[in-house]
Amino acid sequence: MARRPRQVVAGRSYHLAQSGHGDESFCLDADDRQAYQQIFLEAALGLGLFVHGWTVIGREAHWLVTPQRPRAMADVVQQVGRRYVRRFNARWRRTGTPWAGRYRSYWVDPASHGLDVLVWMAWQSVRAGLCADPLDWPWSSTPRLAGQQQASRLANLKLIEGYWSLGNTPFEREAAFKGLLREPLAPAALEGISRGLSLGWPLLGQDIWARLDPAEQSEWVIRPRGRPTKEAIGPSSIGPQSIGP
């Protein structure tokens, strides 16, 4: 199934991912990771892109963001491309782009699935063999969300609704987030994130799905091949089905 055309709506949250060309990394060492992270956060702060979480591991970088205008994600990625690629190529004496084409993104309901995405992001550094514990990876929002690293003013980290619901105090929320890191994600959550990254399918709760305009719902209905039948296809067979733990 082909990836759907990218559609960005201001005020919706998205999982944005950038990947290195082929199997190569676009961050070759700690200085690269720090520079890329800093440049992205500076661009986001100046171009109307709220950042809720991220991880930078080398071959990939993942961000949970909410654009305040439709062009915000694209403008941030373009500015990062101009600033970071110039620095990267000059430092390593390379030419061209280190990235594999355009960035990928899909719509995420932060209230029902934002924490799943943040936990998934946190474990990418461990899966890549870069550290033994996601709390030890400094080029990520994970230590900040867990209370182990103070958020800088520049980062302007915007906490999602799901994170606020973890407790009434910062200590309670940080402790609860640490607990989530130790729990395996449900297979449905992993499938939903994979499908979003590969096909652009949104990751929504049933309440958000029910409030969508019928025309937009129809864009995400999986239709069987061949002549359509008269039977209606319910939410259980569409991409953005609810995926609780």
Q: What is the CATH number of the domain that holds 77?
A: 3.30.70.1290
3-state secondary structure at position 17: strand
Tell me if 226 is assigned to some domain: no
Contact (Cβ atoms closer than 8 angstroms) between residue 163 and residue 111: no
Tell me if 238 is assigned to some domain: no
Tell me if 198 is assigned to some domain: yes
**Max CA separation in the chain (angstroms):** 60
Based on the structure, what is the number of domains in the chain?
Answer: 1
3-state secondary structure at position 236: helix
Distance CA 238, CA 224 (A): 11
Q: Tell me what pLDDT residue 234 has.
A: 38
Contacts of 229 (CB under 8 A, 6+ apart): none
Contact (Cβ atoms closer than 8 angstroms) between residue 163 and residue 58: no
Distance CA 84, CA 75 (A): 14
Give the H/E segment covering residue 61.
strand 60-67
Domain that holds residue 140: 13-204
Q: Tell me what pLDDT residue 218 has.
A: 81
Q: Tell me what pLDDT residue 3 has.
A: 59
Contact (Cβ atoms closer than 8 angstroms) between residue 189 and residue 195: no
Cα distances from 140 to residues 100, 105, 194, in angstroms, run: 21, 18, 20
Tell me if 144 is assigned to some domain: yes
Q: Tell me what pLDDT residue 151 has.
A: 64
pTM: 0.88
| Burial degree of 170 (CB within 10 A; 0-12, 13-18, 19+) | exposed
Tell me if 223 is assigned to some domain: no
Tell me if 241 is assigned to some domain: no
Q: Tell me what pLDDT residue 210 has.
A: 87
Tell me if 231 is assigned to some domain: no
Q: Tell me what pLDDT residue 215 has.
A: 84
CB atoms within 10 A of CB 54: 23
Q: Tell me what pLDDT residue 232 has.
A: 41
User: What angle, rounded to 10 degrees, do the helices at 110-122 and 187-199 form?
Assistant: 90
Output the tens digit of pLDDT for each of the chain's 245 residues: 555 667 899 999 999 999 998 879 999 999 999 999 999 999 999 999 999 999 999 899 999 999 999 999 999 999 999 999 999 999 999 999 999 889 999 999 999 999 999 999 999 999 999 999 999 999 999 999 999 877 665 667 999 999 999 999 999 999 999 999 999 999 999 999 999 999 999 999 888 988 888 888 888 776 666 565 544 433 333 344 333 33
